[in-house]
Amino acid sequence: MKLPGQLPPRSQTEHPMPTPPRPTIHPTAIVHPNAALAEGVVVGPYAVIQEHVRIGPRTIIGTHCVVEGRTTIGADCELFTGAVVGSIPQDLKYRGEESLLIIGDRNKIREYVTINPGTEGGGGRTVIGSDGLFMAYSHVAHDCLIGDRVVIANSAALAGHIVVEDRAIIGGLVGIHQFVRVGTLSFIGGCSRVAQDVPPYATVVGYPAKVYGLNTEGMRRADVSAEAKQQLHRAFKVLFHSKLSMRHALEQAAREAQACPEVRHLLEFVQQSKRGVCRA
C-alpha cells in the first residue's frame, strides 16, 4: 500500500546518483583539516595548504606550492611548481589584520609566482578575475584588482593597489608603480617602467613607458569592430599626438567622437586618472 506523499520504491535497474570525485592529495602534502577542497581537486607532492584556504572544483595545486591565508581559488585553476599564493603582504604598514585573496576560475599560475592578499589601507582584499595567465616569477602585490583574461609575463612585478582591466597584457620584466591603472586591451612592452596610467587599447613601452599607438593585434583578437578602431585612432591622434593640453585634447576628442563605447571608455579613463596617463 502506498501512503500519500510516499515515494515509490527505487527500481532495481535505476542508476544511483554518481558520487563527485574526492580530492586527490599526495601523501607528502600537508593540508590543514579545516581547509575546504572541492571535488576533483588535486594536490601534488610537498604542497602546503593552510587552514582558511578554499579551493574550487578540479583545481590542481602543483608540487611544492604553498597556499595560505584567507585565500579562495575558483574552479579549474592550475598552480605550477613553487607558486606561493596568499602569503602576507610585503607592506610595512601591515599589522596582521585579516585580509582576503580571491582568485577566479581557469587561471594558470605558473612556476614561482607570488600573489599577496590585501591590507586594511587598501580595502582588505586582492582580487583576480578568471582565465588569466601569470607566467613564471611574476608578482601581484597587495590590494591589486586584476580583471579577466589578463596576461602577466615572466618576472613582471605589480606593486600594491594596482588596477588591471580585462584583457590587458603586461610584458616580461615590467615594473608597475603602486596605484597605477592599466586599461583594457592595452599592451605593455617588455622591460618597461610604468609610473602613470596606461590608457585602454594602447601599446606602451619604454623607461619610462610612452604611448606608441593602438594595440591593433589585441583589438583584432577581441573582435573590436572596424568602426570602433577608426574612432579610437582619431581619439588617439588628438589625445597623444597633438600639441593640445590634455584637458583641451579631451574636450576636442569628446566633440569629435560618435556614440562609440570604446572611445567613451577611453575618455572616461583618462578623465579619472589621478597619476596622469602615459604620453606619446
3-state secondary structure of 140: strand
- Note the Cα 127 to chain centre separation in Å: 7
Which residue type occupies 267? L
142 in catalytic set: yes
- Judge whether 184 and 268 are in contact, CB under 8 Å: no
Angle between helix 246-256 and helix 226-240 axes, rounded to 10 deg:
150
Radius of gyration of the chain (CA): 23
Q: Which of 143, 161, 172, 218 is catalytic?
A: 143
Q: Which of 52, 142, 161, 265 is catalytic?
A: 142
Q: Which of 86, 129, 160, 172 is catalytic?
A: 160
177 in catalytic set: no
What H or E segment, with its residue span, contains residue 60? strand 60-61
Give the chain's count of helices (H) and strands (E).
4, 28
> Which residues sit opposite 73 in a β-bridge?
55, 103
Instruction: Give 20: exposed, middle or buried? Use CB within 10 Å, 0-12, 13-18, 19+.
Output: exposed
3-state secondary structure of 149: coil
Which residue type occupies 268? E
22 to each of 9, 52, 64, 69, 145, how far by Cα in Å? 29, 19, 21, 23, 32
171 in catalytic set: no
Report the alpha-carbon distance of residue 197 to residue 279 in Å, rounded: 10
Which residue type occupies 120? E
Q: Return the active site residues.
A: 142-143, 160
